[in-house]
Each structure stands twice: as structure tokens, then as C-alpha cells.
């Protein structure tokens, strides 16, 4: 694009921005009044009501009762026992199905704590869960979400006075050259022709810049779709995910936060279609037109530069509203934020595009929201991969849906753990005493394995207050 045509285009947008600025000032006053109203209101309602682990386990079990059974009505092991056993395995962080199978043979706690009647063997569990349609498991995430909402736990996550930040990203959890199922994605080596089978999912969680806990939503599997021969992709999975998100939460004020790959016109149109606000990463390499446009605007004095210092850290912003995302989609206008965090010798640099009209009074919060995106990677995927959940272990692949169902059930176990961390004072006290989740899981598993308890609360109480065991008597030769 020539400089003169860009200048005339800038002049056109400038008029628009002047109008937006006036609108912005009016919005600012309503915003201040709105904050005062919310603060007064939230002081009355926002004390979370504790939720016990027994209540969470009971909720999961009664949700599993809704999953239809594809087998004959006289099946020895019920569907709810099979699902609950897999949930228990992930909740206890067993590293393999065979470990759970060992537990099954000698562990009375499994029956008492997870309310299990007939516990399946490893083979039985795989056989029963393989044909279960993953969409039957997904609604349970909403049931736990509703529980957190009703108990005001969700109030902790309110961002920019009214919204919830939902961080979305894809991740892989299985790859093999031999093992595969009907929902596996396939990747063919162009030179050798060798096929690698893999599974991915689009994960999403409600996050907040000030909280280390997250509330995972039902993930969308990136799998080969029914009747399709081509591989599924993250963009298609995102379409299904946003449609489901709006179906599950039609009125929830949501800001989607994603990385630079998502800041493209079709994706932004999809977000708008579902009434989802956004703060999306932007990279100079992927958005040459946009960055060029902003640079020209900056030279013409049309960007706003703003800086503030907090605890010796300099936060420098440059922003401009209503700029075209790229040359081929000039109808898609975005608001652009460039940010530098300068802490001594260290400088971090980020850019975002957003549909929030950016001004000096909200740019800091927009930056905090944009930066909270990494919580889906760090607090969710990395926790599942490295902090006891064994996300990438193969618990059994199956022929149809087993691999996907196990990934969903593991995410559900993680959600229940996060719910405890947010809403159970007993769990919070034990976690504080143990110092890390990994240590807590190790000690919980040890007690679970050697002593008999009637509830998970009793295990946590034993860890918190200590316990006494009578002298060990060995049944065997000395």
C-alpha cells in the first residue's frame, strides 16, 4: 500500500476514533459507577461457601449415573462403577492402569471413599469405556462449574469488574508409530511414508492474573471426525468449542485469551458470532501489515504512548484503536496494544489485539488479561504433564474412544482437585502444611494404600493433625 493511500485511510479512521474517544469518556463514568455498584454488591455475596471433597466425589458419581450404558442391562459391572474407577485412578494419580489394578485387589478404601460397588479389572475398564461417546462425559464439567458458581467460588475470578478470562490452547498428549484407534490423527513422513498417530485436544480454563488456580472447562478433542477422512485441526475444534461454550454458558461475560495464531480474521469473526470478547496475541512476523500500519500511525502522532512505574518496574504502552487486522480483511477492525515491561536490565515485549476500546484507564488491565494466557500452558497442561497426573502416559488406547475418554476423565480429576484448592479450607490447610501438591499426593497415596479410612476428609485430617498406628504385627516367620 502506498504512503498517500495509507495516510488517507488513517485520516478516515481518525474521525472514527475521535468519535470513539468521546464515547469512551462517557463509558468511563458509567464504568466508575459500575465498579462502585459491584464492589458494594460483591462485599455481600462474594464469600465463597466451602465445598467438601466428599460432596465433589458424590457430585461426580451422580453425574456419571446419567451416562447411558451401551451394554445389556444385566452387565456385572455398572457403567457408573467403571467411570468412577477411572476417575479414582486419576484422582489418586496412579501412574498406570496396572497400578490401579493392584490397588483394586487389596484396597478397601476405594469402595468406601469413591462409593464403588464392583471395581473393574484393567481389561474390563478398557472394554467398558472404549465405546462410550466422549460427549456424554463432557457435561460433568458444567455440573462442577455450576457448583462453584452457586457457592460463589467463581466470584474470585471476576476480571475487569464483569468478565471471566477463558484461556484456550491446543496440546498433544499421545503419539505412536504403532498404537492407533479410529479417532487418531495421522501424520505421514513425506520422505519415508511412515505414519505417526497422535491425539490432541483444545483445552480451556477460566483463569485470573492474581490466582494460581484455574477452572478447566470441558476440553474439545482434536480427533478424526465421524465420516471424515481428513485430519481435524485446532481451528475446527475451536469452532465446536465456542459453540458448546455458548450453549453451556449463554449469558456468561467471557473474554477469550489466546496466542498469536488465533488473531486472524475468520477466528475473530467466529468469536464475535458467539458474543465472546477477546485479547489475542499478535506477532510482527505474522502481522506485517498491522505492525506497519501502527508504525505509520505512530509517526503521524496517532498512537497513544503511556507509561507508569510500579514497584520499580516500568510498564510502557503504545496503543491505537480501530485499525485493520490485515490487508485482505479491512472490515475486521481491532484495537492494538504494544507493551514493554522494563525491570532493570530485563525487558519483556508483548503485543495484543482486542475488541476492548483501549484507553489509559484500562490498558494496564488489558495487559494483565493478555498475559494470563500462559496459565493454560503452565498451570494446566504442565501441571497435568509434570505434577503427578501423568497426562502423557498411555493408560490404554482402545479401538474407538478410550484414549479421548481417559484424557477427559483426567482433566475432570484435575478440575475436582482445583475445586478443592479453591473451596475446601481443609484441603487448603493440608496443602499449606505439605508445601507442594506433589508431596500432598504422595502422602495421600501412601495413607490410602496402607490404612483404612471412611472418607477422603479423614485422610486429609490425618495428614493435617497427625495420626497414631498401633504396633505392626507381621503374619509370617520372623
Residues of this chain that interact with Zn ion (CB under 5 A) are 181, 184, 403
Q: Would you say 35 or 233 has its CB closer to Zn ion? A: 233
Q: Would you say 383 or 401 has its CB closer to Zn ion? A: 401
Are 255 and 277 in contact by the 8 Å Cβ rule? The answer is yes
Alpha-helical (H) ranges within 392-455 are: 402-423, 425-434, 437-450
Q: Would you say 178 or 346 has its CB closer to Zn ion? A: 178
Q: Would you say 13 or 391 has its CB closer to Zn ion? A: 391
Q: E strands within 195-303?
A: 195-207, 215-216, 220-222, 254-258, 277-281
Instruction: Region of 340 please: left (phi>0), alpha (psi -120 to 50) or beta.
Output: beta
Q: How far apart are the first and last CA of the chain?
A: 90
User: How far does Cα 350 stand from its chain's mean position?
Assistant: 22
Tell me how far, at minimum, the Cβ of 244 lies from Zn ion, in Å.
21
Q: Would you say 89 or 181 has its CB closer to Zn ion? A: 181
Q: Would you say 201 or 282 has its CB closer to Zn ion? A: 201
Tell me how far, at minimum, the Cβ of 131 lies from Zn ion, in Å.
14
Tell me how far, at minimum, the Cβ of 181 lies from Zn ion, in Å.
3
CA distance 416 to 35: 32
Are 206 and 164 in contact by the 8 Å Cβ rule? The answer is yes
CA distance 395 to 54: 26
Q: Would you say 222 or 279 has its CB closer to Zn ion? A: 222
Q: Would you say 181 or 268 has its CB closer to Zn ion? A: 181
Q: Would you say 221 or 324 has its CB closer to Zn ion? A: 221
For residue 177, the SS3 value is: coil
Tell me how far, at minimum, the Cβ of 179 lies from Zn ion, in Å.
7
For 236, counting Cβ atoms within 10 Å of its Cβ (0-12 exposed, 13-18 middle, 19+ buried), the class is middle
What contacts 375, CB < 8 A, 6 or more positions away? 167, 205, 207, 214
What contacts 149, CB < 8 A, 6 or more positions away? none
Nearest to 214 by CA among 381, 86, 430, 47: 381
CA distance 145 to 154: 8
Tell me how far, at minimum, the Cβ of 290 lies from Zn ion, in Å.
38
Q: What CA–CA distances, in Å, run from 359 to 24, 92, 239, 280, 282?
A: 8, 48, 30, 17, 19
Q: Would you say 96 or 179 has its CB closer to Zn ion? A: 179
Tell me how far, at minimum, the Cβ of 400 lies from Zn ion, in Å.
9
Tell me how far, at minimum, the Cβ of 119 lies from Zn ion, in Å.
26
Tell me how far, at minimum, the Cβ of 198 lies from Zn ion, in Å.
8
Nearest to 97 by CA among 129, 125, 73: 125
Tell me how far, at minimum, the Cβ of 210 lies from Zn ion, in Å.
38
Tell me how far, at minimum, the Cβ of 231 lies from Zn ion, in Å.
12
277-281 vs 346-354, strand pairing mode: antiparallel
Q: Would you say 172 or 260 has its CB closer to Zn ion? A: 172
Tell me how far, at minimum, the Cβ of 82 lies from Zn ion, in Å.
20
Dig out the grid coordinates for 346 from the structure: 530485563
Amino acid at each position: 500500500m502506498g504512503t498517500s493511500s495509507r495516510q488517507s485511510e488513517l485520516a478516515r479512521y481518525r474521525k472514527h476514533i475521535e468519535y470513539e474517544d468521546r464515547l469512551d469518556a462517557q463509558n468511563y463514568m458509567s464504568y466508575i459507577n459500575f465498579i462502585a455498584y459491584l464492589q458494594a454488591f460483591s462485599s455481600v455475596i462474594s464469600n465463597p461457601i466451602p465445598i467438601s471433597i466428599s460432596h465433589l466425589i458424590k457430585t461426580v458419581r451422580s453425574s456419571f449415573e446419567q451416562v447411558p450404558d451401551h451394554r445389556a442391562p444385566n452387565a456385572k459391572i455398572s457403567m457408573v462403577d467403571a467411570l468412577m474407577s477411572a476417575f479414582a485412578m486419576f484422582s489418586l494419580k496412579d501412574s498406570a492402569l496396572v497400578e490401579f489394578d493392584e490397588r483394586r485387589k487389596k484396597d478397601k478404601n476405594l469402595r468406601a471413599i469413591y462409593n464403588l460397588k464392583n471395581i473393574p479389572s484393567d481389561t474390563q475398564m478398557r472394554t467398558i469405556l472404549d465405546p462410550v461417546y466422549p460427549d456424554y462425559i463432557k457435561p460433568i464439567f458444567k455440573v462442577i462449574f455450576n457448583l462453584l458458581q452457586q457457592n460463589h467460588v467463581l466470584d474470585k475470578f471476576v476480571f475487569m469488574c464483569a468478565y471471566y478470562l477463558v484461556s484456550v490452547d491446543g496440546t498433544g498428549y499421545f503419539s505412536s508409530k504403532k498404537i492407533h484407534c479410529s479417532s487418531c490423527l495421522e501424520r505421514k513422513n513425506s520422505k519415508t511414508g511412515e505414519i505417526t498417530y497422535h491425539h490432541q485436544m483444545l483445552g480451556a480454563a477460566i483463569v485470573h492474573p492474581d490466582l494460581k488456580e484455574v477452572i478447566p472447562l470441558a476440553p474439545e478433542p482434536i480427533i478424526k471426525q465421524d465420516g471424515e477422512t481428513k485430519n481435524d485441526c485446532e481451528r475446527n475444534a475451536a469452532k465446536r468449542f465456542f459453540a458448546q461454550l455458548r450453549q453451556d454458558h449463554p449469558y456468561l461475560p467471557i473474554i477469550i485469551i489466546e496466542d498469536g495464531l488465533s488473531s486472524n480474521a475468520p477466528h475473530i469473526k467466529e468469536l464475535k458470532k458467539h458474543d465472546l470478547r477477546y485479547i489475542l496475541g499478535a506477532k510482527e512476523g505474522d502481522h506485517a501489515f498491522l505492525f506497519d500500519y501502527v508504525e505509520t500511525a505512530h509517526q503521524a502522532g496517532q498512537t497513544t504512548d503511556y507509561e507508569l512505574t510500579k514497584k520499580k518496574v516500568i510498564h510502557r504502552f503504545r496503543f491505537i484503536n480501530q485499525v485493520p487486522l490485515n490487508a485482505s480483511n479491512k472490515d475486521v477492525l481491532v484495537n492494538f496494544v504494544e507493551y514493554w515491561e522494563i525491570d532493570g536490565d530485563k525487558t519483556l515485549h508483548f503485543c495484543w489485539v482486542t475488541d476492548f476500546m483501549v484507553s489509559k484507564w484500562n490498558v494496564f488491565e488489558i495487559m494483565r488479561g493478555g498475559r494470563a494466557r500462559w496459565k493454560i500452558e503452565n498451570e494446566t497442561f504442565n501441571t497435568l504433564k509434570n505434577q503427578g497426573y501423568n497426562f502423557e502416559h498411555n493408560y490404554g488406547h482402545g479401538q474407538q474412544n478410550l484414549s479421548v475418554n481417559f484424557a477427559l476423565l483426567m482433566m475432570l480429576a484435575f478440575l475436582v482437585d482445583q475445586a478443592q484448592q479453591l473451596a475446601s479450607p481443609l484441603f487448603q490447610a493440608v496443602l499449606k502444611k505439605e508445601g507442594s501438591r506433589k508431596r500432598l499426593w504422595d502422602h495421600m497415596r501412601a495413607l490410602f494404600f496402607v490404612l483404612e479410612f471412611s472418607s477422603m476428609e479423614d485422610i486429609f485430617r490425618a495428614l493435617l493433625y497427625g495420626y497414631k498406628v498401633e504396633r505392626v504385627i507381621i503374619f509370617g516367620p520372623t
